[in-house]
Amino acid sequence: MAKKHIAIVAGWGMVLALSCTGASGDDAPDGGGDNPADGGDEDGDDAGVSGDGDGDGDGDGGDGDGDGDGDGPPDGGSEGPSDGGAVDSGPSGDGDGDGDGDGDGDGDGDGDGDGDGPTVVEQCFSDLGGGAGAGPVYDAYGPVVGAQCFGTAHQAISGIERVVFLGDSVTVGTLPAGSGDYYRNLLADDLAAAFGLDAPGAVWRSGLTGSAGQVNSGDFWSCAKSGAHSKDLLIEDNQIGTCFPPAVRDQTTLVVMTMGGNNIASMAAAGTDGVPVDTLYQYIDQFSGQVRDAVEWMLDPNNVPGTTYIVMGNLWEFTDGTGDIASCPAASLGGLSPWDDPDELAGLMYAANEAYMDIATSTGIDLVFMLEQFCGHGYKNDDPAAPCYRGANTPRWFDYSCIHPNVEGHAMLRDMFGAVIGLP
């Protein structure tokens, strides 16, 4: 189930979140118990046993020579190999098990002694930390993060024969941006050039009716609709059924998707109407489960014989980590009102994004860090106390609707999805 965040302790630069899963402390998504925060081990070997600090990942006790091979020091000390290895002929070690001279004994080279290497936040978002917010804790799920920190890097996408866009109004595109500015259309041109595809025509590129002007044009399909919720992927509107007709299911397909923003908006409105927070966590389980079902359906070769790659955005918000819904003047028009405890709303957001990361890592699809990259570009972008404050004159990437990207935001989405897909 979604992790319930019960305390928010530090900023983006030092993410600490206390959570309970309703299960044993070993309840990592892959069953490995590989994160110290959830009762797992610290040696990086994913074996679910206590760490040995030697850096070789075998859990058998270190030899202290600094090279991680377990064969003892070559520097005049007693050799005494603990694991039966040969006498070391290499350079002197520092005794930490990783050979990098940091002396912390954990084998990951980051000097903190925890054996797990840098966290996602430390790797990508350590410069965001001006306030008292926190962010999703992804590390228990074991994501592989791309070099540009725009998202994960779980797939080697190649040989694309057609592209499918699914989701909501973020992907459809909305005014005041013009169709030429929609990330869907910008990315379609990039993908057509990269994979030698037939580009879509002008009617497909339109979004004025709340969906693309036509479902299919060239090698591109779009079944995204404004106002869509997670249930519309497979159940009610059945976007997937429309965009995966049997005749094309053997083609190598790239799916680009944004879904869940309307679920989050419904959840936020329900909270201000008095729905208990525990019930809202259950709602996260429900809608993220519908997203998982959709992803697994598309990846199942019994349904889609051709190879399917999926790149999905995570769930952003416009308050820059503050939970201050009133920061966007139009929020009330969409039925959103300030929460008495903004930290509760923030905790729900983090839990939903962790659920999306769980989907990505357990199915092997990729997740785009929309939340993290747009944090600081919302309606508290000029507030130095906001957790994601990026400095004076930082541009806003959301339009007047609060929840949709403006022209600059669409351009950033094009770059982010393109980078995660692997475009140059």
Q: Which amino acid makes up residue 272?
A: T
| Closest CA relative to residue 2, chosen from 251, 331, 283, 414 | 283
Contact 215, 243 (CB under 8 A): yes
Question: pLDDT tens digit string along 217-274?
Answer: 999 999 999 999 999 999 999 999 999 999 999 999 999 999 999 999 999 999 999 9
Question: pLDDT tens digit string along 177-213?
Answer: 999 999 999 999 999 999 999 999 999 999 999 999 9
Question: pLDDT tens digit string along 360-402?
Answer: 999 999 999 999 999 999 999 999 999 899 999 999 999 999 9
pLDDT score of 78: 37
Question: pLDDT tens digit string along 406-420?
Answer: 999 999 999 999 999
Distances (CA, A) of 306 to 10, 30, 196, 218: 45, 26, 18, 19
pLDDT score of 115: 54
Question: pLDDT tens digit string along 344-361?
Answer: 998 999 999 999 999 999
Question: pLDDT tens digit string along 280-313?
Answer: 999 999 999 999 999 999 999 999 999 999 999 9
**Phi/psi at 370 (nearest 5 deg)?**
-65, -45
Lowest mean pLDDT among 81-90, 123-132, 413-422: 81-90
Return the CATH number of the domain spanning residue range 142-421: 3.40.50.1110
- Residue 310's H or E segment, with its range, is strand 308-313
Q: Residue 272 in 3-state DSSP?
A: helix
Lowest mean pLDDT among 83-87, 254-258, 321-325: 83-87
Contact 367, 417 (CB under 8 A): no
pLDDT score of 116: 60
Contact 34, 376 (CB under 8 A): no
Residue spans of the domains in the chain: they are 43-115, 142-421
Residue 2 banded pLDDT, cuts 50, 70, 90: confident
pLDDT at 114 over 90: no
Residue 125 banded pLDDT, cuts 50, 70, 90: confident
* C-beta atoms surrounding 282 within 10 Å: 12
Q: Residue 353 in 3-state DSSP?
A: helix
Q: Residue 59 in 3-state DSSP?
A: coil
Round the average pLDDT of the chain to a whole number and report it: 80
Residue 172 banded pLDDT, cuts 50, 70, 90: very high
pLDDT at 36 over 50: no
